[in-house]
């Protein structure tokens, strides 16, 4: 992608293996997305409750046997195991899409710091350093003011302002001119 072209180019898929792999990935992505959507619905939750209720009600009929317990344990274990992969796949895809959207916004905004693009691939140390930088900015650009409410109680509020240092320097300059 060039700096003037804002649409990303699609990767080429020349070989049969990459084509079949793309097909498999596409099928899995669609399946995972649909499964996550359906299994996260209120009706799926209700169905799960009904299954558990039926299982619980059949306990006396099967004398609460080991086989009766094994059925629910095995079923829930298998479903949980498979759902981990489906949910993780969906979350990975959603996170990637969100990161790309944020990267595009950073790229499109004039004056934005373009080095913030692709932060998800930074080391933990780099992220910690950047987080400290933003914490310092927050402290520098905010100050605490006290407000008195209707009951006469003092409330402390953080108000965003221009640089406090700049404001103090301007105030000193005005005081010295007077």
CA–CA distances in Å: residue 13 to residues 10, 18, 21:
9, 6, 10
Q: Give the torsion sign (CA, 128, 133, 138, 144).
A: positive
* Token pair listed for 68: 């009766």
Separation of alpha carbons 46 and 28, rounded Å: 26
Separation of alpha carbons 73 and 135, rounded Å: 48
Q: What is the pLDDT along the chain (178 residues), one digit of tens a residue?
A: 444 444 444 444 455 556 777 788 889 888 888 888 899 899 999 999 999 999 999 999 999 999 999 999 999 999 999 999 999 998 999 999 999 999 999 889 888 888 888 888 888 999 999 999 988 887 777 666 666 667 767 666 665 555 444 445 455 555 555 5
Residue that is written with structure tokens 């302002």 in the block:
161
Residue that is written with structure tokens 């108000």 in the block:
159
Separation of alpha carbons 168 and 178, rounded Å: 16
Kind and range of the H or E element at 175? helix 164-177
* Helix (DSSP H) and strand (DSSP E) numbers for the chain: 5, 2
Number of neighbouring beta carbons within 10 Å of residue 136? 10
CB 150 within 8 A of CB 129: no
pTM of the model: 0.56
Q: Which residues are 155's β-sheet partners?
A: 147
């Amino acid at each position: 992608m060039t700096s003037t072209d804002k649409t990303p180019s699609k990767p080429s898929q020349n070989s049969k293996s990459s084509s079949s792999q793309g097909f498999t990935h596409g099928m899995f992505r669609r399946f995972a997305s649909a499964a996550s959507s359906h299994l996260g619905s209120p009706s799926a939750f209700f169905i799960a409750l009904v299954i558990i209720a039926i299982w619980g009600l059949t306990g006396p009929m099967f004398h609460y046997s080991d086989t009766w317990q094994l059925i629910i344990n095995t079923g829930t274990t298998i479903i949980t195991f498979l759902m981990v992969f489906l949910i993780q796949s969906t979350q990975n895809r959603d996170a990637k899409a969100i990161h790309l959207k944020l990267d595009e916004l950073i790229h499109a905004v004039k004056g934005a710091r373009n080095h913030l693009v692709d932060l998800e691939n930074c080391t933990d140390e780099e992220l910690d350093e950047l987080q400290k930088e933003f914490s310092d900015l927050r402290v520098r650009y905010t100050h605490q003011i006290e407000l008195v409410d209707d009951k006469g109680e003092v409330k402390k509020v953080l108000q965003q302002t221009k640089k406090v240092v700049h404001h103090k320097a301007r105030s000193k300059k005005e005081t010295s001119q007077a």
